[in-house]
Structures are given as C-alpha cells and as structure tokens.
Structure 1
C-alpha cells in the first residue's frame, strides 16, 4: 500500500503541546490512524508517546516547535507517514543518513567540498519523494547520547543533532575511516537497536571479488584468469600462458599502482607503470629481474595478477565501460547507466582522474577496432554482464550493497570481460552533474532507501 506524503507545518509551542500532533482527517481515515489516543511517534531512532488530533479540510501535519526541533524538522518538509496498528506506531520518514568522509564547517556554502552539489541533488530528490535526508561524518557519531551530529539543508546548510537514521548510505571514500571502531560500532548499534539498514557497508578488494565470483557459473565467462600474486612461481606460470599480464593492487582505485607486463624479445619483459603524469616504461632482461624489482612493493601492497586482454581501442587508446547498477524500489538489481571510457593519450587506464574521456557505448564501439561481425547486441551483452556480476557479488560476498560500479571491457572479438567492481561508485563518473537536475541514479537510490525502510 502506498504511504501518504504530507507537508509538515511547525507551530508555536504555546499553541501545541510537545506530545500532540494535528493531522488532516482525510489522511487519518486513509491510513486508519485512531484519533485522540496514545500512539508511539517514530522518526528514525526517535520514539515518543503522542496523541493525534484530526483537522478537517487539511491535508498536512502540524507539529509543535519544541518537538520539531528535536526531530530536526522545518516547516514545509514533505514526509511519508505510515501507521502500524499492531504496535500502535505512527512512523514518519524515511530518515536517510548519508555517511560522508569529511565536512568543512567553516565553508557553510560548500560544507562537503566537491560533492556538495551531489548532496543538494539528494536533498531535492528526497523532497520530491517525501523522505528526510541528512549528511554526517565519522566525527558526528557518538558525540551526543542517541543522536548524530549532521547537516540538513533548509534554505541553506545547517548543523543539528538528529535521530539515528532508518537507512544509512555509506559513502565513505577511505578504508581507514570506514574501519574506525567508532564507525563500526555505530553501524552495529543502529542495526541491532533500531533495525536500521546500512547499504554499501564495505569496500571491496579485487581478490575478494574474483575469488567469490569464480564459484558462480553465470559469471565465469566474464572472468579473466586471476590469482593472488604471492610468489615467483605464480608470476612465471601466468607469463608462460599469456603475452601480457596485469598486476593490480588488491585495494587500489583510480588506476593507481597498476603494472602491465608484456613480452619484449625472446626473454625480456617490458613493465609499464601508471603514474599521474602518464605511463613509465622499464625493460627487464628476464622475469627474475621483474620479480626482484616488484618484490619490495609486495611487502606493503598485495597484488592480483590477471590475464592480459586485447581490449578494443580508439586511435591506440584502450576503451572500457562503467556500468552503474542499483537496487530499485522493489529491491531488484537494475542497470541505471553504462558509459564508455576512453583512456588518455599517455595512459592505458581509462579513469577520468587519469585524463580519460566519456562516450556512449554505441559511439565507442563504432569508432573502435572491434571486428565488424562482433558488434551485434553489444549494449545488451554489457547490460546482461553487469546484472549477472552484481547479483553474483550480492549473493557471494557477505555484505549489503545497494549500488555497484561494474567496470567491463570488450576484446576485439566482442567478448565481455570483468575488470573490477567498485562498491563506492563516484557520482561524477557516469553522467554530468547539472545543478537543479535530479539524475535517475539519485532518484533510484532514494527509492531503494524507501523500500528498505518500508515507506
């Protein structure tokens, strides 16, 4: 049953007591809310006994100023409401908390730096759907009893102490922050005490993903041969089978630290290292020398060694594809977007941070060196691969994910390959961010949060 959406009207505490709500009688009848009886008001982790008074010819919700302040609500805030007769609970919400890495309180116009516009877009999407969103950092956790110090947008950005949310979207971009004991304890507490849901609750590492997916028959065809690089024997056997291999830091991102090894003459190998300025090449006379050169790095960085692929190119620049998959209003995986990414002129990785450029799938394939006979149904095959892989990650890795960035590639024969799965996909990597426009990916995120919270 759809949950009604009402606009909150905050009235003076002198007019309305803290434990009284006034609600349009038509809304009360539709939601079967009993009048003038003790009920429990629920808003995120907030609980209080209230009485609801019906108001004729009115379709909003009136709340006293003192109560509104404790909830962090301002006049004009649209919210969903739901009445559960068994527990006699009137729930308002959903309350969505977005956990971000850092804030800048001295810059109230741009408190989240480069992602502030994305946060505003989320606010607008929540208003249109009747959800309440706030943003908080690891520093805002545990500072107040039962509350979270966060940011709300109400005609401008303001800090407030708010109830713990019904749903947390973990958008932390640092493993160090995510692994802080205060963060982990908070997430455990709100799940256990309030039944809150947390999605995208952890980073993925490359070995974990490929090892988990090896057991999934629907996904096997997309997996390049991959192993944890722990010995010279593994390096030697992979290099005996393939003309090129990639060494990828298990916890790397943005293409940092990737090394491509390719044959050079009879015995020799060329190592291509990614750097911010482009690709640095080094020739080694044999594999023993290669291994001794990287074994120092292996003491601090775990590597995945992966079969080299003959990816499609445009003018000598490799092309790959970023699919954004998300769970929808029914909790099912869907593909929100797929874009082509063409590597920069001095790079063999396609990340935008390394000078890559975006393209549509159709344009990328049309301009590429893919065999003409292999171009049929490329979009549909990428779409299917992204869904198969997302479902596989969801089923085989013990964590809750609501959206994934699935990096795919095509070889010159048209075969689809998995490169990487990212559990913290950038919102600037799939479609341009325009002020005032709510993208489908942002709308979908709110729909999934509503599904999780039962609104």
Structure 2
C-alpha cells in the first residue's frame, strides 16, 4: 500500500481557518494535490471544502482546532492520505468503527469491560498503520447516519465524542437481538448506500445454515459430518439407527451451551450426555423414542442440528479439537492467522475455554493424542487446507460479507479432518491470549483488511 502516512498537528483557529489545511510540500507533490485550489476533504462520512497550502521541509499536516473537533481528531493522530483526482478529493483514513454490544461509561479505565484490553490493542495497532479507530454501541447511533457517538483512546485515556460514520465497520456485536435491531440494520444499510462504507462480519451464522450451504461446495463436502436440522422423530430415529453416536447442537448455540451427545450402549439403550458449566450430566434411556420425548420440549423453543458422531482423537481420555482463525489479508484473500489445539477440561466433552478447555499448539495437541503416528506429520497441513477451503466456501455460498472466521475442526482416529462449527464473531481470546502492549497478528490483519476495503 503506497498511501503516505502523516501526523496531524492541531493549530488554534485564530491562526488557521477551518477551510485551510497545511501539508508537507513533498507529500503534495507525491500525491499530485493542487495547491491553493478548493478540494473536498473526506474523513469517513465527513465532507468539507478546503484549500491546501504546501509547507517546505515539513512531513505532517496542520488543521484548525475547530475543524479537528468536527472530525473527532486529536493532535498527533497519524493518518494515511489518498488523493482522488477524478473527484478532487483528499481522503484521510481509514476511519474504522468497531461496533460492540455495550459500554460502561461509569468505569473510565474499562469502558468496554472484558474487551477493553483488546480495544486498546487495536488502537495501538491502528496508530502504527496510520488508521483511526473508534468503538461504538447501538446506543451511540443517532437519528442521522452521518455520525455516531463513539469512544477513542489517546495518551490521556478514553474519550467519548461525536465522530463521522466510518469507512469500515467491524461488527463485533455479541447478540442476535442487537444485530437484528432496526437501528443497527438501518445504520448499516444507510452508510453502505450513502457513503460507500463497508461492513464485515455483518451477521451471525446458524449451524444449520452453514452445513446446508457448504453441502453445495464440492471442495468442502469431504469435511462435513452428516447433518440435518432436526425436525421429526423419523429423522432422529434414522440417524440413531445409522450411527452409534450422534450429537444434538442448538442451531444458535455458542461456547458449547446446550450440546447433547447421544451414545448407544448395547443394542437398544442410549446414554445422553449434557454439556453443563459444571461438567457432563448423563442420563440413560431404554429406547430412542423416550430419548426423543425427553428433548422434544426443548425443541419448541430451540432449533437443533442433529449430526453424525465421530471417533475423534483424545489426549488422556479428553477430546481434542482445533480452532483455526482465518482472516482476509491486505489483498482481500483468505489466509490462516493461527490454529491452536483445544483439549477438553476434566468431566467435559466440549473443548471451549469457557468450559475448562486448554490451549496448545497443533504439534503439542497431536503429540499428546492417540492419533496414529503415520498421520501426525500431515495433521497441521490438513487442518490448514480444510480451514482455507471452508472459509472460501462460506464466502461463496452464504450471501454476507465476512473478514474473519473462527473455524472449529477435528481429526478422527484415521487422520481425517472434520468441520465442527464456523463462528463469524470469533473471540480474540480463543487464538492467542492478550498481553498488555503486545500486538497480535490477528489484530494487525484486521487493520490491513480494512485498509484494503477502503483503498488506503
């Protein structure tokens, strides 16, 4: 990306008027920006007519205090510049808005609760790349889509202010109710149509939606356990007849909540294992009809996916699976940012960290598992190939914009890779832990993709 980066200096409005910008002469020549002529200044949805004055032997940009306040920019902000000759427009940015579920204004040092550290990490990474990021909630969206109430972080801490609608929105809402609210949907539609903004990870994925869509992709079919939306006892009985184990998964569940594992014991009996916060609860049934009857009440409010059970690798009797984080890069292409092994906690059959699961490298997880030695050397490359195939399949088969996907994979005892789940709102704690002051590759990649989308 060849867009130059400059530091913005704020000057008193008594010295510099609001319709004048001062910019380093060398940068103006590089971008072929005309001097002393009216052009349009763009910062996200913000537009303003300005005249540029070249300054010899100066690498930055100077703007008036009043103008910077209208734009939500503070002194020392590094921004990239892009001059579009056809529209005589000087664009500053990229301006990135991260849409989060809630804020806590009464807690000045942690306005976003547990994700505040991630927000600060993203802010630091944006400064390094010359991008500008702010964080906003559905409550910060007003009656006009051209601006929102958001939060920015600088040397003096967190500040709440009015900011232009962004070039790029990273949707990190954690509930479907918020995501589907009229105010959020209207805002997303308006900024796309009016300002050409981009919204990625714009929707949650349902498990049934994912598996139905990927069944149509020949490159991905080999990773898919047999799966159906559970609609009738006939389907339930058919799956229980064909497989010695099946899983029931809430279509909209996460963190392992509500998963039921059904295992045949002998010729007719079945054991149901329920994933709970405190471990696995088990219940035995004499026949499938009684088992189905026990869960039919839940099916009135929760839709389930019924899925073929797999003989997955284990470590010390604990199931092992893998979380791949796939992201679009600076060229807009999918790539693997990380893959980690996840081993289920004691008394659990799901590996989520929230249920006591532990992280390790793929190599460590495989080495401790019962995967036969002949398959160990190729396990990592098979997982990578599967994650990329699945990410591309989601992109092609589901009509929505995704920039990053958490893809849960498993390996069976014959070395075959299977898809468990795809998460369109992957937690930033599920790949590598946050550390104060450290910028993770996943955060850098998100900014690079935002730059790609916005042309910076």
**Into which bin does the TM-score normalised by the smaller protein fall?**
over 0.9
Contact in 2 for aligned 1:322/1:407 (Cα 8 Å): yes
Contact in 2 for aligned 1:143/1:149 (Cα 8 Å): no
Please give the per-residue CA displacement for 1:294-339, whole angstroms capped at 9, x wherever unaligned.
1000000000000000010001000000000000000000000000
Contact in 2 for aligned 1:365/1:375 (Cα 8 Å): yes
Distance 2:144 2:91 in 1: 23
Contact in 1 for aligned 2:10/2:62 (Cα 8 Å): yes
**Equivalent position of 2:125 in the other structure:** 125
**Equivalent position of 2:32 in the other structure:** 32
SS in 1 for 2:271: strand
Deviation of 1:145 after TM superposition, in Å, equals 6.6
Deviation of 1:376 after TM superposition, in Å, equals 2.6
Deviation of 1:144 after TM superposition, in Å, equals 5.8
Alpha-carbon spacing, 1:174–1:145, altered in 2? closer, same or farther (3 Å): closer
SS in 2 for 1:86: helix
Contact in 1 for aligned 2:329/2:446 (Cα 8 Å): yes
Deviation of 1:343 after TM superposition, in Å, equals 0.2
Q: How does 1:280-291 map to 2 (within 5 A)?
A: 280-291=281-292
**Equivalent position of 1:418 in the other structure:** 419
Contact in 2 for aligned 1:134/1:152 (Cα 8 Å): yes
**Equivalent position of 1:365 in the other structure:** 366
SS in 2 for 1:9: strand
**Equivalent position of 2:152 in the other structure:** 152
SS in 2 for 1:162: strand
Please give the per-residue CA displacement for 1:21-45, whole angstroms capped at 9, x wherever unaligned.
0000000000100000000000000
**Equivalent position of 2:136 in the other structure:** 136
Deviation of 1:371 after TM superposition, in Å, equals 1.5
Please give the per-residue CA displacement for 1:104-158, whole angstroms capped at 9, x wherever unaligned.
0001100000000000000011000000000000000015673100000122100
Distance 1:400 1:228 in 2: 24
**Equivalent position of 1:105 in the other structure:** 105
Distance 1:151 1:144 in 2: 18
- Could you list the runs of 5+ residues in structure 2 that have no partner in the other structure? none
SS in 2 for 1:383: helix
Distance 1:382 1:198 in 2: 28
Please give the per-residue CA displacement for 1:260-314, whole angstroms capped at 9, x wherever unaligned.
0001222111000111111000001100001110100000000000000001000
**Equivalent position of 2:214 in the other structure:** 213
**Equivalent position of 2:88 in the other structure:** 88
SS in 1 for 2:406: strand
**Equivalent position of 1:249 in the other structure:** 250
**Equivalent position of 2:168 in the other structure:** 167
> Given the two structures, how large is their TM-score scaled by the length of structure 2?
0.99
Distance 2:145 2:236 in 1: 53
Contact in 1 for aligned 2:258/2:275 (Cα 8 Å): yes
> Given the two structures, how large is their TM-score scaled by the length of structure 1?
0.99
Distance 1:257 1:49 in 2: 56
Distance 1:79 1:151 in 2: 18
Distance 1:436 1:225 in 2: 44
**Equivalent position of 1:15 in the other structure:** 15
Distance 1:91 1:203 in 2: 32
Contact in 2 for aligned 1:323/1:339 (Cα 8 Å): yes
Distance 1:53 1:244 in 2: 73
Q: How does 1:427-438 map to 2 (within 5 A)?
A: 427-438=428-439
* Residues paired across the two proteins, number: 455
- Could you list the runs of 5+ residues in structure 1 that have no partner in the other structure? none
**Equivalent position of 1:114 in the other structure:** 114
SS in 1 for 2:126: helix
Contact in 2 for aligned 1:126/1:133 (Cα 8 Å): yes
Contact in 2 for aligned 1:206/1:251 (Cα 8 Å): yes
Note the aligned Cα RMSD (angstroms): 0.8
Distance 2:50 2:259 in 1: 59
**Equivalent position of 1:75 in the other structure:** 75
Contact in 1 for aligned 2:71/2:163 (Cα 8 Å): yes
**Equivalent position of 1:399 in the other structure:** 400
Alpha-carbon spacing, 1:394–1:206, altered in 2? closer, same or farther (3 Å): same
Q: How does 1:260-271 map to 2 (within 5 A)?
A: 260-271=261-272
**Equivalent position of 2:181 in the other structure:** 180
SS in 1 for 2:86: coil
Distance 2:303 2:167 in 1: 36
Contact in 1 for aligned 2:325/2:336 (Cα 8 Å): yes
Distance 1:395 1:300 in 2: 31
List structure 1 segments (4+ residues) > 6 angstroms apart after TM superposition. Answer: none
Distance 1:359 1:146 in 2: 44
Matched, 1:439 2:449: no
**Equivalent position of 2:45 in the other structure:** 45
Please give the per-residue CA displacement for 1:32-66, whole angstroms capped at 9, x wherever unaligned.
00000000000000001100000111010000000
SS in 1 for 2:124: helix
